[in-house]
Structure 1
Amino acid sequence: MAASKRSVRLLSGLLLGAGVAHFARPAQFDAIVPRVLPGRARTWTYASGVAELLFGAALAVPRTRRTGALAAAGLFTAVFPANVQMAYDWRDRPAPLRALALARLPLQVPLALWALRIHRAERPS
């Protein structure tokens, strides 16, 4: 049974939009790259933006959807440390911003599960 077209389009659009944002407004992403990563933050920002664009495009194409969904689940897991970094860095910001940063932490779980559901639904019979 294939994943619903709506679900696939939404997740693909989310990834493509996020990927574009990494190039349109890279400074906001540079700021949350964990400082323990080697190299420049901008390199990690662009690399994750490219990954989001690739995985979003792969999800949009039926032939590559399974692989794209699995890669997206991995990406959602891999970027979790950036959300932890953001929550830590924003600990002294006004309460609404702190709440936003903290709300991003558990968001990665449903995103990864969503991608895995698409991956499983696209399983060849």
Structure 2
Amino acid sequence: MDGHTLARQSLAVIRLVNGVTALLAPRVMARRLGADATQPALVYALRMFGVRTVVLGAELLFLKDERELERALRVGTFIHASDAVSAACAGREGTLPRGMATAATAISTVNVALTLLAQRGSCCPPGPR
């Protein structure tokens, strides 16, 4: 297994675990974020996040067309970068506890790095296959 594949599969697992948790157990996810798990709007938003994240993870496992996979990775880079900026802003504004904002920012930043590592030929020439 090459580094691109390992990065893609790792990112898929991270997305699926976080997505399924948010979708099926949004109150657990809310508590992990240090948020009030009794807020119906938060539960709704976490479920929407969960659906999005499960779809993103499934794409990385099931897309077979190289161009479609590359598109999914490019879109994922943008999504995870947006998540990282949002988490950092929430921490700075105090709408998310600082520790949880730092953790969410770090997780999203790792996800950005994984999307970049998983992309073939986008930053570096492809190696021997």
TM (normalized to structure 1)?
0.65
Determine whether 1:58 maps to 2:59: yes
The one-character-per-residue Cα deviations of 1:56-106 (angstroms, maximum 9, x if unpaired) are 111112323212212222221232324643673435xxxxxx3x6424324
- Specify every segment of 5 or more residues in structure 2 that has no aligned partner in the other structure, as ranges: 34-40
In 1: Cα distance, 2:28 partner to 2:9 partner: 26
SS at match of 1:77: helix
Q: Aligned ranges for residues 104-123 of structure 1 at < 5 Å?
A: 104-119=104-119, 121=120
What is the match of residue 12 of structure 2?
12
Q: 1:51 is matched by which residue type in structure 2?
A: R
The 3 A distance-change label for structure 1 pair 47 and 26 is same
Divergent runs of 4+, >4 A: 28-32
TM-score, length basis structure 2: 0.63
Alpha-carbon distance in structure 1 between the residues aligned to 2:121 and 2:20: 26
Contact 1:84 1:105 in 2 (8 A): no
Is the partner of 1:62 in helix, strand or coil?
A: coil
Distance 2:57 2:109 in 1: 18
CA distance, structure 1, for counterparts of residue 91 and residue 24 of structure 2:
19
Q: Please name the residue that 2:82 is paired with.
A: 78
8 Å Cα contact 1:19-1:52 kept in structure 2 = yes
Q: Please, which runs of 5 or more residues in structure 1 have no aligned partner?
A: 33-39, 92-97
1:14 is displaced (CA, Å) by 0.9
68-77 or 14-23: bigger deviation: 68-77
Q: Tell me what 1:48 maps to.
A: 49
The residue number in structure 1 matching 2:37 is none
Q: Find the aligned partners of 2:30 and 2:74 in 1 and give their Cα distance.
A: 25
Partner of 1:90: 97
Q: Count residues with an aligned counterpart.
A: 110
